[in-house]
Chains A and B, each alone.
Chain A
Amino acid sequence: MMAVLQLAWKSLLNRRFTALITIFTIALSVALLLGIERLRHDARQGFANTISGTDLLVGARSGPTQLLLYSVFHIGNATNNISWKTYKELSQHRKIAWTVPISLGDSHAGYRVIGTTQGFYEHYRYAGKRNLAFAQGRPFKDVFDVVLGSEVAKKLEYRIGDEITLAHGAGKVNLIKHDDKPFRVVGILGPSGTPVDRSLQVHLHGIEAIHKDWFAGSPIPGVRFDAERVRNMDLTPKTITAFLVGLKSRIATFRVQRDINEFATEPLLAILPGAALAELWEMMAVAENALLVISVMVVVVGLTGMLTVLLTSLNERRREMAILRSLGARPGQVFALVIGEASAISLIGLLAGILLLYLGIAGLRPWLETEFNLFISLGLPSHRELGLMLLVWLSGTLIGLIPAQRAYRNSLADGLTIRV
């Protein structure tokens, strides 16, 4: 059998040009399949890692997905706010260790502004236990201090000490600017791959300060408080958009969730961020599966190309097979010769595809990170990926059954007659 495999190998080398093209096709399709699988996995992982360490996320009563979207991903707007009084009362709950308020509604150049407290930097975690890290500067302290997410700083080319103005509402056009009360950049965060990268953070008091002379979403005509005057006013907010909750013990999660959901004076909704993230991802599973199906199809196309090449080569190899038969090769060995070739081509194609994938990831990683916030790992293949690899090799070998069976039949029919 070794002899036959050696022959298969030499025969393949003899047809190396077509073989290389076939291998290249398979390699590309495998790289695509594994690339998409990895992208899918890492995107899911990155998504699930958007917020961690927070046990409950609380907002005005709406849907869990909606709450998650507006409070964490800054997509869409809250339909209702939470009163400061309710927030204060709940933060005293004896099972709650910490709370971080979030106030949304303003923006800068299309990037959302998060009004919060210093606790945000202490308690907001992503990808397991990672804290938001400062690339430069420090957290906000003054009412008119602002911290920039990494993408905001990079895209808008801001530096520490720059002055910026916030605009009312979200979006890029026709917004009323709070240009009478500029903010000073005091800190720039490192990249985290979370929506925080695309946000600006100021103290809750800052949000309150720029709205002191506003009422119901517009400036009060004829009333103007300048920045210095506002600074000395009571800047306790009246409402916030949502807040993050950390518990003293996770065992109490459902207890506290129920307490909040049944809060008497105000309709509230508390959700488990992890569960809501998973639920949200499931909504996107269709697209995810479609991608996977397409990449599987591409592999099928690649292997079909190999089948065509093998079947075509059989005719020109009939003489070769008859010679081998005359030397005592069994029809089974002729069969093995062809299937061995299919197996070798798909294995080499597979390995080349894996190589291509790793080179591709290594080369494209910086670009994917900066342009798309996609963090693709360069780690060893996962079990699932290994399974896919094995499946590709097995399919390639199984497809080899078709030409091998034909060669077997030919060699039985031809016997020692050499057909030219």
Chain B
Amino acid sequence: MSQAVVEAHKLTFRWQPDHADVLNIEDLRVDSGEKLFLVGHSGSGKSTLLSLLAGVIVPQTGRLSVLGQDMHKLRSAQRDHFRADHVGFIFQMFNLIPYLSVVDNVLLPLRFSSSRRQHVAALDHDEHLEARRLLDHLGLNDPALLERPVTELSVGQQQRVAAARSLIGAPQLLIADEPTSALDPHHRQTFIELLFRECEEQGSTLLFVSHDHSLGQRFDRQLDMADINTATQEDQ
């Protein structure tokens, strides 16, 4: 049996002490190298779950370990550090820092994580080349395109830059939060395929969140937030 990347047990979270739980998860396990599809509508508690996995917040009760690390044992700054080192994020849209170039956007995680920096250094080429290599793999190889301000890229191109950024330095866990919902169906498929290929190549675990069931078939496993989260959902 492969190693667990995420292990949660009797996990609860509420935003305010006098509010109801927004998250109550009995058991959740994500294996290393797994490509997990998590279906969740808005208000299903998925944003809260992702924030917990990222270490932005900690559960009130229960146990949550990511990559074997108990999250509640880390102080806030350590959790930020942990996220920088081990987790890559892709959001629905507006992933990029508007005033940085394409390549500088991709290189950004290395500024916050020495372990990801070292991982790139261990390769036989420099950081810029690695960024170009990832962009190239994701189909962004036009030099003129790379020179353009990121705000002038199409949404599909922006998402691929975001993917390259989440992959650089090979973080063990990739969290993609509705990364394709701004894309048309054709680009959606291509994007997911590219993401799969890169995750397989780097050995990263992929946690892909979407409300669109139709995307789920090609994943190793599908989970529905409604099934794993037993907290009553109201105003999440």
Contact = CB atoms under 8 A, between A and B. Distances in A.
B85 A328 contact: yes
A153 B83 CA distance: 80
Interface of A is mostly: helix
Interface stretch (A101-109, A298-306, A410-418): A410-418
A171 B47 CA distance: 87
A326 interface: yes
Nearest to A420: B94
Interface in B107-149: 108-109, 111-113
B95 interface: yes
A328 B78 CA distance: 10
Contacts of B108: 327
A330 B131 CA distance: 24
Contacts of A324: 97
A330 B94 contact: no
A416 B81 contact: no
Given A326-B89, A328-B81, A417-B47, A319 B94 contact: yes
A327 B89 contact: yes
A329 B94 CA distance: 17
A332 B83 CA distance: 15
Contact of A330 (B51, B80, B111, B113): B80
A293 interface: no
B223 interface: no
Contacts of B76: 330-331
B57 interface: yes
Nearest to B47: A417
B77 A320 contact: no
A14 interface: yes
A416 B111 CA distance: 18
Contacts of B57: 415
Contact of A328 (B99, B100, B113): B113
Given A325-B56, A416-B56, A330 B95 contact: no
Contact of B51 (A319, A329, A332, A416): A416
Interface residues on B, range: 20 to 34
| Residue in A7, A14, A323, A326 with the greatest tally of chain B CB atoms within 10 Å | A326
A251 interface: no
Nearest to B54: A416
A230 B100 CA distance: 91
A14 B98 contact: yes
A416 B109 contact: no
A406 interface: no
Contact of B109 (A11, A13, A328, A418): A328
Nearest to A330: B80
Nearest to A414: B56
A3 B56 contact: no
B51 A415 contact: yes
B91 A327 contact: no
Contact of B83 (A6, A13, A328, A331): A328
Contacts of B98: 14, 320
Interface in B36-80: 47, 50-51, 54, 56-57, 76-77, 80
Given A328-B113, A416-B50, A416-B56, A323 B80 contact: no
Given A416-B51, A417-B47, A328 B80 contact: yes
Nearest to A411: B56
B80 A329 contact: yes
Nearest to B82: A328
Contact of B99 (A14, A319, A325, A332): A14
Contacts of B97: 7, 11, 320, 323-324
A319 B51 CA distance: 16
Interface string A383-420: 00000000000000000000000000000000111101
B103 interface: no
Contact of B91 (A14, A326, A329): A326
Contacts of B91: 323, 326, 416, 418
Nearest to B94: A319
B84 interface: yes
Contacts of B92: 418
A410 B109 CA distance: 21
B80 A416 contact: no
A7 B112 CA distance: 12
B47 A326 contact: no
Contacts of B95: 323
A41 B57 CA distance: 58
B56 A327 contact: no
A327 B109 contact: yes
A328 B109 CA distance: 8
Contacts of A331: 76, 80
Nearest to A2: B111
Contacts of B111: 3, 6-7, 327
A141 interface: no
Given A323-B96, A328-B85, A328-B113, 12 more contacts: A6-B111, A319-B94, A320-B97, A324-B97, A326-B83, A326-B89, A327-B112, A328-B84, A329-B112, A330-B77, A415-B56, A416-B54
Instruction: Identify the 4 closest CB pairs spanning chains A and B, nearest first.
Output: A328-B84, A14-B99, A3-B111, A328-B112
23 contacts: A3-B112, A6-B111, A10-B99, A13-B99, A14-B99, A320-B98, A323-B97, A324-B97, A326-B54, A326-B91, A327-B89, A327-B112, A328-B81, A328-B83, A328-B84, A329-B80, A329-B112, A330-B77, A330-B80, A415-B57, A416-B51, A416-B91, A417-B51
Interface of B: 47, 50-51, 54, 56-57, 76-77, 80-81, 83-85, 87, 89, 91-92, 94-100, 108-109, 111-113
